[in-house]
Amino acid sequence: MSRVSDFGERLYSGEKSIDFVGRRKTWYVISAVILLIAVGAVLLRGLNLGIEFRGGGDFSIPNATCSVEQARVVAEAQTGSQAIVQVAGNGTVRVQTESLTTPESTKLAASLAKTCGVGVDTIKIQVVGPTWGSEISKKALQGLVVFLLLVALFMSIYFEWRMAVAGLLALAHDLVITVGLYALFGLEVTPATVIGFLTILGFSLYDTIVVFDKVRENTRNITAQSVMTFGESANLAVNQTLVRSINTSIVALLPVLAIIIVGAGILGAGTLLDLAVALAIGMAVGAYSSIFVATPFFVQLKEKEPAIIALAARVHARRAQAAKNAGGGDTLVDSDVEITTLVDAGPRQQPRRVPRSKRPKKS
Which H, E and C letters describe the chain, residue by residue? Answer: CHHHHHHHHHHHHCCCCCCCCCCHHHHHHHHHHHHHHHHHHHHHCCCEECHHHHCEEEEEECCCCCCHHHHHHHHHHHHCCCCEEEECCCCCEEEEECCCCHHHHHHHHHHHHHHHCCCHHHCEEEEECHHHHHHHHHHHHHHHHHHHHHHHHHHHHHCCHHHHHHHHHHHHHHHHHHHHHHHHHCCEECHHHHHHHHHHHHHHHHHHHHHHHHHHHHCCCHHHCCCCCHHHHHHHHHHHHHHHHHHHHHHHHHHHHHHHHHHHHHCCCHHHHHHHHHHHHHHHHHHHHHHHHHHHHHHHHHCCCHHHHHHHHHHHHHHHHHHHHHCCCCEEEECCEEEECCCCCCCCCCCCCCCHHHCCCCC
* Class at the top of the CATH hierarchy for domain 56-128: alpha beta
pLDDT at 337: 36
pLDDT at 189: 84
**pTM for the predicted model, two decimal places:** 0.74
pLDDT digits (tens, 9 = 90+) for 103-116: 888 888 898 898 88
**Pairwise CA distance, residues 286 & 308, whole Å:** 28
b/e map 233-268, b = 16+ CB within 10 Å = bbbbbbbbbbbebeebbeebbeebeebbeebbeeeb
Cβ neighbours around 155 below 10 Å, total: 22
pLDDT at 168: 93
pLDDT at 295: 93
Q: Which residue has the higher pLDDT, 354 or 118?
A: 118
Backbone torsions φ then ψ of 239, nearest 5 degrees: -65, -35
Q: How confident is the model at residue 79 (pLDDT cuts 50, 70, 90)?
A: confident
Which whole-number Å values give the CA distances from 290 to 10, 16, 83, 192, 298, in the listed order? 21, 20, 42, 25, 11
pLDDT at 328: 54
pLDDT digits (tens, 9 = 90+) for 23-78: 999 999 999 999 999 999 999 998 888 777 877 888 888 888 888 888 899 888 88
Q: Which residue has the higher pLDDT, 273 or 176?
A: 176
Question: Are both 2-49+132-308 and 56-128 of the same fold?
Answer: no
Q: Is 301 exposed, middle or buried (0-12, 13-18, 19+ CB in 10 A)?
A: middle
Find out whether 88 and 266 touch, Cβ atoms under 8 Å.
no
pLDDT at 232: 92
Find out whether 219 and 230 touch, Cβ atoms under 8 Å.
yes
pLDDT at 177: 93
CATH architecture of the domain 2-49+132-308 equals Up-down Bundle (1.20)
Sorted by where each begins, the domain ranges of the chain are 2-49+132-308, 56-128
Q: How confident is the model at residue 338 (pLDDT cuts 50, 70, 90)?
A: very low
Instruction: Find the radius of gyration of the CA atoms of the chain.
Output: 34
pLDDT digits (tens, 9 = 90+) for 286-331: 889 989 999 999 999 999 999 999 999 999 999 898 888 887 544 4
Find out whether 174 and 208 touch, Cβ atoms under 8 Å.
no
